[in-house]
A and B are shown apart, each in its own frame.
Chain A
Amino acid sequence: MKRSGRSYFERTLDGLVAGIDRTRAAERHAEDGGLLQRVDPRVKVGGLLALVVAAAFARNHLTLVGLLAVAVAGALLSRLPLGLLVGRVWLGTVLLTAAIALPALFLTPGDPAWRLPVAGWAVSWQGLRTVSYLLLRVVTAATLTFLLVFTTPWAHVLKALRVFRVPVVAVVILGMTYRYILLLLESAHAMFEARRSRTVGRLSPGDRRRLATAGVGVLLDRSIRLSGNVYDAMQARGFRGEVHVLDEFQMRGRDWLALAGFAVFTAAAAWAGR
């Protein structure tokens, strides 16, 4: 597919397809037999979140690099291919952060480390430190989140949030939302594909705007009608205002081990990064 001159349709479709693909990939890997896949979801949610927080607190590069190394090791042991990690998670994150942080190299006050040849702008040591903090933190957090989502079925991720006292209502709403995101992504995709096949030539900006708002409107209409039917279906099976979830999680030996592992890493990171 050509990169340049992509039509309006293609760009939107690509975004939708990327979303669908990511969920499919996550589901596939979550069913694999790697290390983290076998750990209790509550331990994973708590443990990985603790590591993300430790990364947020870290005040030196060594700790951040250490946390990143632990995250990458976890990914490899869970049979998540490195190519997937680098291509899907790191590439986008690094590019985006680099774009945002580039000016900071020059703007951060401090001792100059290097000067640009022609313009004479100075890159300060502090600027380099700051940009490296940002990059490391963002990539580490993204990797840990990726670990959680690609080794745990999403329904379990949401149910495991109960360990943080997230109310049942919220968990149910989160679960239902995710389920219908998948549906709407595919609806929107079908809608745009159908429209594209009937369109000859390029669309004017006004046309595109109308198409976008019409698309949004149709999606909204569908969503609201569906929600009415879903409510009927819930009522038909006994829903009367109290939501319940069935939580089958049980801690086994290896889950306690994993919990201990997370605790050790977090403590080490907290101490080293203070």
Chain B
Amino acid sequence: MKGFDLTAVTCGYQQVTALRSLTLGIPPGTRVALVGANGSGKSTLLRLLDGLVFPDAGEVRFGGDLLTEERFGEDTFAYSFRRSVGLVFQDPDAQLFNPTVFDEVAFGPLQLAWDKREIAARVDETLERLLIPHLRDRVPQRLSTGEQKRVALASVLVMDPEVLLLDEPTAGLDPRSQSQVIDLLVGWAGGAKTIVTATHDLAMIDDIADRCVVLQGGEVAADRPPADVLCDLELLRDANLVHSHRHGHGHGHGHSHPHLHD
């Protein structure tokens, strides 16, 4: 199993510097929650980990291998990496670009040139595991957000990656779907795989992660167990993850305490 090592990584796009000289290590088998307000660099970091963008300065290594554009030009390296690391995108419209759910889940294995009969079997098995076999021939456009999230997960899990990267997995979901996704992640992980979840939903980080990395302004503001981070109000406020304002609890007098709004 392999882990990630980022050393002094600076990465930007369109005149915006998303990450500044960031150093971070993610050992294999750990579950990390990446939290930060919008614009803190979470998505960019995930893309760096998945070899979709490359740093302007610094290094990103996976299991010791340096991730560069040239490296991804090599077939063997690219295929082995794409199989080992899976990224679930935030926007289901970007993630689900195939005509049917079956085609969507089969896309990854097809690109990896698996045997066609094996692909069909694996796809059905994955759909079963995610409790959506009835969606097999449906059009992604017509599914509910919760169903789309499951299909997106299936399309990545079908390849059985050892690293799972998730970008805001519960964004836009109703509470029941949210808890279903969380249950899934907690159950599947089993401690044997590496999971990095980018989220601004503080309510779930305690369940899904052993370690919480707080990003602020493109840098690591903190790297501690979730319970610790959740108690550190000052940190959370600085990172723009919570706010205080006055409100009433129905007694007629107001007070304020830090909390989240979604």
A contacts, CB < 8 Å to B: 27, 153-155, 158, 175-176, 178-180, 182-183, 186, 226, 229-230, 232-240, 242, 244-246, 248
Q: Evaluate contact between A234 and B103: CB separation under 8 angstroms.
A: no
Q: How far is the CA of A74 from the CA of B29 in the complex (A)?
A: 59
Q: Is the interface of B mostly helix, strand, loop or mixed?
A: helix
Q: How far is the CA of A155 from the CA of B107 in the complex (A)?
A: 14
Q: How far is the CA of A193 from the CA of B257 in the complex (A)?
A: 39
Also in contact, A175 and B83, with CB within 8 A (given A238-B112, A239-B111, A246-B106): no
Q: Evaluate contact between A229 and B91: CB separation under 8 angstroms.
A: yes
Q: Evaluate contact between B120 and A248: CB separation under 8 angstroms.
A: yes
Q: Evaluate contact between B50 and A236: CB separation under 8 angstroms.
A: yes
> B108 contacts the other chain (Cβ, under 8 Å)?
yes
Q: Evaluate contact between A237 and B99: CB separation under 8 angstroms.
A: no
Q: Evaluate contact between A230 and B97: CB separation under 8 angstroms.
A: yes
Q: 3 closest Cβ contacts across the A-B interface? A: A238-B111, A155-B99, A229-B94
> B226 contacts the other chain (Cβ, under 8 Å)?
no
> B182 contacts the other chain (Cβ, under 8 Å)?
no
> B54 contacts the other chain (Cβ, under 8 Å)?
no
CB distance from A220 to the nearest CB of B (A): 16
Q: Evaluate contact between B112 and A154: CB separation under 8 angstroms.
A: no
CB distance from A162 to the nearest CB of B (A): 14
Instruction: Give 20 new A-B contacts, CB below 8 A, not counting A179-B139, A182-B141, A244-B110.
Output: A153-B100, A153-B137, A155-B99, A179-B98, A183-B93, A226-B94, A232-B52, A232-B94, A233-B94, A233-B97, A236-B89, A237-B155, A238-B79, A240-B75, A240-B78, A240-B79, A246-B103, A246-B110, A246-B119, A248-B120
Residue of A183, A237, A238, A240 with most partner-chain B CB within 10 A: A237
Against A, the Cβ 8 Å flags (1 = close, 0 = not) of B215-258 are: 00000000000000000000000000000000000000000000
> B82 contacts the other chain (Cβ, under 8 Å)?
yes
Against A, the Cβ 8 Å flags (1 = close, 0 = not) of B74-106 are: 010011001100110101011101111011001
Q: Evaluate contact between A155 and B103: CB separation under 8 angstroms.
A: yes
CB distance from B93 to the nearest CB of A (A): 6
B95 proximity list for chain A (CB < 8 A): 233
Residue of A154, A179, A180, A245 with most partner-chain B CB within 10 A: A179
Selected from A155, A182, A226, A240, the residue in CB contact (under 8 A) with B111 is A240
